[in-house]
Chains A and B, each alone.
Chain A
Amino acid sequence: MSGVTLDKIVKRYGPTVAVDDISLNIKEGEFLTLLGPSGCGKTTTLRLISGFIQPTSGAIHFGAKDVTGIAPQHRQIGMVFQDYALFPHLTVSENISFGLVERKYEKQAIKERVDELLALIKLENAAERYPSEISGGQAQRVAVARAVAHPPSVLLMDEPLGALDLKLRETMQIELRRIQQELGITAVYVTHDQSEAMNMSDRIVVMNSGVIEQIGSPTDIYTNPQSVFVANFIGQVNILNCHVVKNDRETTELNYQDNKILTRSSNKLKTRTKIYLAIRPEDIKITSKPPTKSQNSLKGIVSEALFSGNVMKISVTIDGGDIMKVECPPKANSFVSGDQVHVNWMPEDCKILLG
């Protein structure tokens, strides 16, 4: 087991750059998720770590060992595939022992390890079944057991839950996380599903068109996005185009279509700089009367109000023409479309983004 270091990795396919100068340090025992839309380079990055493809330039280290150029079978990795890739002609236990047989373990050691893993994935009763005779969730657990049987330096997972239905996916998120924690394995997980990434990861790497947009813990990425892309990709966000009016030590004053908006001073921005202001829908409150002075407030008309169980999703067309999404508890808010309202939020709940 070891950490993984990517050092200035570039992968080109002809004129297209799939991965553009990525450097990344994955700590030992960490659960790291590569998150991004399709085509962002996350799968290419995973395949580079696996050794199926080689970087155009840059180096990959597992711990202190340089593995650049080493074939996948010599990298000591485990991998879980989106379609499970279980061998249909082998039983569950034969699938799990595949890597152990290939690495010439003793017969007795193989048997002990397989039993141990069957217990870990709670499939003791299915040992002699064939992959066609077990369910999707069970198949996924077998795939994980196979991947970790010969303790890998790093466990790679390529959208392993993509083929499962929502309920099962949530159970499996917890299950995968538990297995990873129990074994203390370094894991790199690829997904385009932000909630999956939030639920499971120690750290998330948000990728977009071949570059890393931001690296951070789930909380950090959600509450402190560094770009409009990250803010939009992780959860819902309202973006207002503003410019800076005045900047003092405590607060920055912004102008949004001649409305004054206050936010916490974070950057030394010159006046008239154009910025994007990000506000999460759940940080906004709706009132029919103007709020107290300390809050930011915009006037608007409710254009849509959707009740979705635990939350009320309200869209407000503000006077400037932008639409603001608001999420609030359903009981306290009985607005219907056409209502004249004020949308209000605290200065500390909005964030200046530069791009």
Chain B
Amino acid sequence: MENRWIAYLIPPFIITLLLVAGSQFVFIQNSFYQDLGLGRTGTDLTLTNYLKFFSDSFYLKTFWITIKVSAIAALLTLFLGFPIAYVVARMKSKLAMFLLAGIVVSTFVTIVIKVFGLIIIFSADGLINKTLLNLGLIERAYSIIGTQEGVVIGLMHFTIGFSVLLLYSVVVTVPPSLEYAAQIHGASRFRVYQRVIIPLCAPGFVVGGLMIFNMCMGAFTSAALLGGGRILTLPVLVQRTVMMEVKYSTAASIAFVLLVSVILINLFSLIAIRRLRSARLVVA
């Protein structure tokens, strides 16, 4: 019986393999040939594109900015998402379900619409600038477009919903009775977080943080719109190299560097966590 059903899975598997892995393979394969511009490539296998990437300060700077804004956005999103997740997870009323549903729905709203919302409230005569100007906290309107802070805000906006959902699923695994037990045996609210909730949620922070980091590393729309052409991240750079410069192999090499670096960062983080865990410094 089982084998018969597995047979039905073979055609979709082959189609997926061709469309996803196949196209990726062709694209990446391209990166090992010299870029002759306008989509043409050389005939000899070479690492020229990669050598160029790692020797050109422009590429290296873009690479560094991508990692930096992603890491900052991931950390801030975790910090921002945890209190929300905690409150929703500990709610006893049905309101919790409505809030979660709201988060899910808003997470799946097209990022373009969400970013335009951000751009409007952060614009020169937008809500935030006007408020700050009226309060006398700033002297002239401040634009987030084309700044690293802007990109970080955009990435956080993009990932906050995921982070709340992720952390919610972590917090609900910590029974409230553990908090009562800690409190009743002398721990203040702060100590309850410090000694019980945070250690028990730590694996969730690591996994959630990495996931959000990965999303940020690959985020295109928010980075492109808020970077405003002045702040480039690798995904934006790949798009430009393909669409505007028509340099396929160069773009492929950048994309491959991005892919491999994300995999390596995740791998090293998980290995580091495992080391810590075996030393019982982190719980799991």
Contacts and interface: CB of A to CB of B under 8 A. Distances in A.
Interface in B160-195: 175, 177-178, 180-188, 191, 195
A150 B186 contact: yes
Contacts of A72: 180, 183-184
A79 to B, nearest CB: 5
A102 B283 contact: no
Contact of B185 (A52, A88, A89, A102): A102
Nearest to A143: B181
Nearest to A79: B184
Interface hub of A51, A73, A146, A147 (most chain B Cβ within 10 A): A73
Contacts of B199: 89
A147 B177 contact: no
Contact of A81 (B177, B195, B283): B177
B141 interface: no
Contacts of A88: 200, 283
B181 A79 contact: yes
Contacts, number: 66
Nearest to B185: A99
Contacts of A77: 184
Contacts of B119: none
Interface hub of B187, B188, B191 (most chain A Cβ within 10 A): B187
Contact of A52 (B178, B180, B182, B187): B180
B185 A150 contact: yes
Nearest to B186: A102
Contacts of A210: none
A98 B283 contact: no
Contacts of B178: 85, 87
Contact of B175 (A51, A83, A99): A83
Interface in A13-29: none
Contact of B182 (A71, A75, A82, A98): A98
* Interface range on chain B (Cβ under 8 Å from partner): 10 to 19
A87 B181 contact: yes
Given A89-B200, A102-B191, A83 B177 contact: yes
Interface in A311-352: none
Nearest to B174: A88
A73 B188 contact: yes
A189 B208 CA distance: 41
B273 interface: no
B196 interface: yes
Contacts of B181: 79, 81, 85-87, 98, 146
Interface hub of A79, A81, A82, A102 (most chain B Cβ within 10 A): A102
B199 to A, nearest CB: 5
Contacts of A85: 175, 177-178, 180-181
Contacts of B184: 50-52, 72-73, 75, 77-79
A152 to B, nearest CB: 9
A81 B180 contact: yes
Given A83-B175, A150-B185, A89 B283 contact: yes
A249 interface: no
Interface in A203-242: none
A65 interface: no
A103 interface: yes
28 contacts: A50-B184, A51-B184, A52-B184, A72-B183, A72-B184, A73-B186, A73-B187, A77-B184, A79-B184, A79-B185, A81-B181, A82-B177, A83-B175, A85-B180, A86-B181, A87-B178, A87-B182, A87-B195, A87-B196, A88-B200, A98-B181, A98-B186, A98-B187, A98-B195, A99-B186, A102-B185, A102-B186, A102-B187
Interface of B: 175, 177-178, 180-188, 191, 195-196, 199-200, 283
Q: Which 4 A-B pairs have the closest CB atoms?
A: A99-B185, A102-B186, A89-B283, A85-B177
Interface of A: 50-52, 71-73, 75, 77-79, 81-83, 85-89, 98-99, 102-103, 146-147, 149-150
Given A78-B184, A85-B181, 8 more contacts: A72-B180, A73-B186, A79-B180, A79-B185, A85-B178, A85-B180, A89-B199, A149-B185
